[in-house]
C-alpha cells in the first residue's frame, strides 16, 4: 500500500462556484457579509501565518503550549491508531500529537487546498516514512465519510476555528463529525476563551496593521476571481467585541459612498458612507458552554486543559 493517497471529494470547480454563491448572497443582503474562508488564497495564508507570530495574537502560542504539555496524556487517553485532522493546512501543530502517539498507523488530513495537503504530506513522510497518509480534499463542514482506517480514531479540530461558525452551524458540525466515527473514538477541540475586551480586540486589530491587510485581502480575491473593481483604500478594517454574543466581528467599513462592480456576476454593489461588510465572526467560549455543545451533539466531555494564563482551551470528548 502506498504511504500517501489523495482523495478529492469536491468537484474541480467547487471553490469557484461557492465563491460566486457566497458573493451573490452575501453582498445583496442587509447587512452585507462574506464568510471568512475567502481570506485564504496564497497571499491570505501568508498574512495569517504572519498574524500568528504577532505579539497581540495569543491563540496560536497558547494552543501550542497546551499541545506540547499535554500530548503524551492525550495519546495515553485515546490510544489512537488513526489521527484525523479537520482543516489541517500545514499540519504544523499536529506534529506534537504525531510524535506522542506510539501506536499511530494512519493520518487523515482534511483540507480544501490540494497544495497544502501535498506539501504537508511530503514533509511528514520524510520525517515518518512508516506513516500512512490518506489526504482528503474536502470541506470539513460537509464531510460525510472517512476512509477506512484502524481504530481508535482521534479527530482534531484546532486553532479555535470552530469559533468561525455561528451557533446553529456549530451544532450541525459537531453532530456531523460525530456521525463519522464509532463510539469510543475521540475529538480534540481547540477553543479560544472569553476574556477582557482589550486583549480580544488587540488580537484582531494589531498595531502593525497585518490583520487589517488580511481583512482587506478578501477584496483582492474578489478582484482576481470575479473582476471586482473594489479599491482597498476605500475600506477601513474594523474589529469589535459583541458582548451579547461573546464573539469578535471583523468588518470592512466604507470610508465614503462607493459602488463596487463585479462583472463575473453582472452585479453592482452600492455601499453608503460608513456601511459595513462583515467578514468574520470569531466566537469565544466558556467551559460550560463547550461542554453543553459537545454533549448536545453526542460527545461525552472527558478532559479540559488551558494554557498557563487561561486564555485558550483544548477539550477532549468521546463519541457516545
- What is the overall mean pLDDT for the chain? 94
Between the alpha carbon of residue 76 and those of residues 66, 85, 101, 260, 281, the distances in Å are 15, 18, 8, 54, 35
Model confidence over 132-188: pLDDT tens digits?
Answer: 999 998 889 889 999 999 999 999 999 999 999 999 999 999 999 999 999 999 999
Quote the CA–CA distance of 281 and 36 in Å, as a whole number: 8
Q: Of 207, 211, 184, which Cα lies nearest the Cα of 282?
A: 211
Pairing of strands 312-319, 299-306: antiparallel
Q: Per DSSP, what are the bridge partners of residue 305?
A: 314
Quote the CA–CA distance of 197 and 241 in Å, as a whole number: 7
Average pLDDT over every residue of 3-14: 80
Coil, helix or strand at residue 225? helix
DSSP 266: T
Q: Are 112 and 16 in contact (CB under 8 A)?
A: no
Q: What are the sequence ranges of the domains in the chain?
A: 1-141+148-230+286-320
Q: Is the pLDDT of residue 1 over 80?
A: no
Q: Is the pLDDT of residue 96 over 60?
A: yes
| Of residues 218 and 126, more confidently modeled | 218
For 1-141+148-230+286-320, CATH gives 3.40.50.150
Average pLDDT over every residue of 301-317: 98
Model confidence over 283-307: pLDDT tens digits?
Answer: 999 999 999 999 999 999 999 999 9
User: Which residues in 210-297 belong to E strands, given as ranges?
Assistant: 235-242, 247-254, 258-262, 267-271, 276-283
Model confidence over 28-57: pLDDT tens digits?
Answer: 999 999 999 999 888 998 999 999 999 999
Residues in the chain: 320
Model confidence over 223-267: pLDDT tens digits?
Answer: 999 999 999 999 999 999 999 999 999 999 999 999 999 999 999
Coil, helix or strand at residue 184? coil
Which residue bears the cell 460566486? 20
Q: Are 139 and 10 in contact (CB under 8 A)?
A: yes
Amino acid at each position: 500500500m502506498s504511504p500517501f493517497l489523495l482523495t478529492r471529494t469536491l468537484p474541480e470547480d467547487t471553490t469557484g462556484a461557492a465563491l460566486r454563491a457566497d458573493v451573490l448572497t452575501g453582498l445583496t443582503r442587509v447587512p452585507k457579509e462574506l464568510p471568512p474562508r475567502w481570506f485564504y488564497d496564497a497571499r491570505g495564508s501568508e498574512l495569517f501565518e504572519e498574524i500568528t507570530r504577532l505579539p497581540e495574537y495569543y491563540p496560536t502560542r497558547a494552543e501550542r503550549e497546551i499541545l506540547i504539555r499535554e500530548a503524551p496524556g492525550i495519546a495515553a487517553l485515546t490510544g489512537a491508531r488513526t489521527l484525523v485532522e479537520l482543516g489541517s493546512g500545514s499540519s504544523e501543530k499536529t506534529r506534537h500529537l504525531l510524535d506522542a502517539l506510539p501506536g499511530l498507523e494512519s493520518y487523515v488530513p482534511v483540507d480544501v487546498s490540494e497544495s497544502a495537503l501535498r506539501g504537508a504530506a511530503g514533509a511528514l513522510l520524510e520525517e515518518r516514512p512508516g506513516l500512512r497518509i490518506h489526504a482528503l480534499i474536502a470541506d470539513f463542514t460537509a464531510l460525510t465519510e472517512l476512509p477506512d482506517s484502524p481504530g481508535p480514531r482521534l479527530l482534531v479540530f484546532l486553532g479555535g476555528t470552530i469559533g468561525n461558525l455561528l451557533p446553529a452551524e456549530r451544532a450541525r458540525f459537531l453532530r456531523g463529525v460525530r456521525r463519522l466515527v464509532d463510539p469510543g473514538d475521540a475529538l480534540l477541540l481547540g477553543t479560544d476563551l472569553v476574556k477582557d475586551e482589550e486583549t480580544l480586540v488587540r488580537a484582531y486589530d494589531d498595531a502593525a496593521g497585518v490583520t487589517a491587510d488580511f481583512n482587506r485581502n478578501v477584496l483582492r480575491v474578489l478582484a482576481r476571481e470575479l473582476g471586482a473593481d473594489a479599491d482597498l483604500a476605500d475600506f477601513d478594517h474594523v474589529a469589535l467585541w459583541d458582548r451579547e454574543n461573546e464573539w469578535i466581528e471583523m468588518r470592512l467599513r466604507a470610508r465614503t459612498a462607493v459602488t463596487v462592480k463585479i462583472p463575473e456576476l453582472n452585479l453592482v454593489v452600492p455601499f453608503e458612507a460608513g456601511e459595513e461588510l462583515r467578514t468574520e465572526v470569531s466566537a469565544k467560549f466558556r467551559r460550560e458552554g463547550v461542554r453543553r455543545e459537545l454533549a448536545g451533539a453526542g460527545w461525552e466531555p472527558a478532559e479540559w486543559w488551558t494554557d498557563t494564563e487561561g486564555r485558550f482551551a483544548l477539550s477532549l470528548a468521546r463519541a457516545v
